[in-house]
Each structure stands twice: as structure tokens, then as C-alpha cells.
Structure 1
Amino acid sequence: MTSERDRVYSPTDIQELLGIDSSTLRKYAILLEKNGYHFLKNERGHRGYFDKDVVTLRKLLEFSKQPDMTLERSAKAVMAWVSEEDITVTVPTEAPLQPTDERYNDMIERLIRLEEHNKRQESFNQELLHQLQKQQQYIQESLERRDKTLMETVREIQETKLLTAATQQKRWWQFWK
């Protein structure tokens, strides 16, 4: 026997519940999946939604309506919320987080710290790449100088041998005269 808690909603049901169109639902689901959320899918890859998924999608909508919240940031905040709550709530009528809610502020602070860390990491990576390019250029220039010096030395040795051979030939001729 299937309980109400095990009910699987169709995408059409979710669209009506949330007041969004099919492309928006698909976009939100893909965004959440990209951030590690798992929806039920049948063998053809069509999504089915449980109550916990409805709650999660509502949270995404709530977060995205907050000031300074992009969809990507909202998805990350939802994923932080999902890991904290473990989504055991089956009734999708929970009061929305308010900007003054401590959990909301904590999530925003965490997201800001993560973004700052990512920026520092990108800056570090760029500097490292720049240093590697400089090192590669230095090595290339050193190899070119070495090759040039080596070729000049070989030419000088050849010229010296030619002059020595020419001098020795003269001496032999002079010797036999």
C-alpha cells in the first residue's frame, strides 16, 4: 500500500504547485542536479517528484527571491540546507526563511566565504600559470643561447682546423722546396 508520503508527483503536478512552467522546472531540476541533488528518474530519464523534492524546489524559489541571490547561489544555499535538514519534512507548508533568519544569514556568509575562497584560488592559479609561462620562456631562451653559443664554438673550431690545415700545407710545400 502506498502512503501519501510515498506519492510521486508528475512534472505537471509540480508546475501547478509551484506556479512555474515546464522549462523553468526543468532548468531548476538540472541546476539542483548539477549541485548534487538527486531526483527520482525512470528508465527513460523522466523525473518524478516526492514531497521532499517539492520542499527543495520551494526553497530554491524562496532563496532566489532574496536580494543578492543568483540562481546558482540559491542552488548552493538549498544544497547546504538539504544537507543540514536531510529533507525529512513531508509537509511542504514550512514557513519560508526570512532574511533575518539565522540559518539564512549563516548560509549567505558561507556562500560569500566560498566565493571569496574561489576568487583567491583563481588568482593563485593565474599567478602560478604566469610564473610557469615565465619559467618556460626563460628555459626556451636559455636553450636558444646555449645552442647559438655551441654553434659559434663549432664554427670557430672548424675555422681553426681549416687555418691549421692551410698553414700545415704551406709548411709542407715550403719544406719540400
Structure 2
Amino acid sequence: MEERVYWTAEAADMVGIGTSTIRKYALALEAKGYNIQRNDKQQRAFTKKDVAALKRIVELTQAGVMTLDSAVNTVIAEFTEVDPSEEQKNEDIDDEKIYSANDVAAILEHVKKQDERLDRIERFNRELITRLDEQTNYITESINKRDDQITSAIRELQDTKKLIATSAEEKAEHPKGFLSKLFGKK
């Protein structure tokens, strides 16, 4: 049974990018030795494996960490079949991955952006802490003012009660005279 193939437009739909981008990625793969089948009219016939390789290129390049060239090299390493005698060599190479200058520059740029983002977050956090401290101070001052006003009002009430009590005692000590009782003078 022959494996199902997909033409450029079908592969573009499956991967989720335009046909011109599929052609560009296919050319980049072929330039590095990746074999994509062609029909008699030299039209590319993509297998499921080819479509998966193209999807992987899209993932790597859209993540912003790899250039197209680096992504193609990575995909070729992932999707090409390895000769068993070459397998040990590839394991040694995997242990000593070598990144191109473009890869390093892209990674450094990504790290720089992350550092800038962290700096912004730290500044924002410091500003939030400052505002929180200001609010806490305002609330504390407001509570203290309210407490002072309540204390002052209680003292005034106590003083008033004392005056009333003193006045009542004075009245009790000086009873009304006979004439004031008789004529109703207070």
C-alpha cells in the first residue's frame, strides 16, 4: 500500500501557513539534504512525516528562539533516519550541541527581553508596596483621629455628668425656703 501524499496547498492547510511559506521551508529543507518526493511535473508531494517536519519548523521559528536556518537543522536532525553505525556518533554530537552564532544571538536577545520584563515587574511591585504603605499609614492616621475624637467626646460627656451631679448635690444641700415653697419660686 502506497503512503498518502499531500500537495503544497493541502500541506499548507494542515500546517496552518501559506503555500509560499511551505515552499520556502521545503526549499530550505532540500538545501540541507532533506528529500521531499516530487511527481513528474516536479510538484512536491509531502508525506505525513514531511508535514510533521514542517509543523516543527513553524513551532521553532514562531517561538522566536531559532532562526529558519537553525530550525531546519534541528528538524533535519530530528526527522532524518539514522544509520545504526552513525547512531553512536550522533549520541556523541548530541552531548556536545553546537549552536550557531545566530542561535546564540537569538537566545541572548530572548534572555535580554526576559530580564527587561523582570525589571519592569520588580519596579511595579516596588510601586505597589509603596502605595500599600501609604494606604496603611492613611488608614492608621484616620483610625487614630477617630479614636481621639471619640475619647474627647467621652471626656466631655463625663465632665457634663459631673457638673450635673454637682449641681444636683448643691440643690439638695440648700432646700427651698418656706416662702419660695409657698409662692412657687424656684
Normalising to structure 2: TM-score of the pair? 0.45
- Bigger radius of gyration among the two: 2
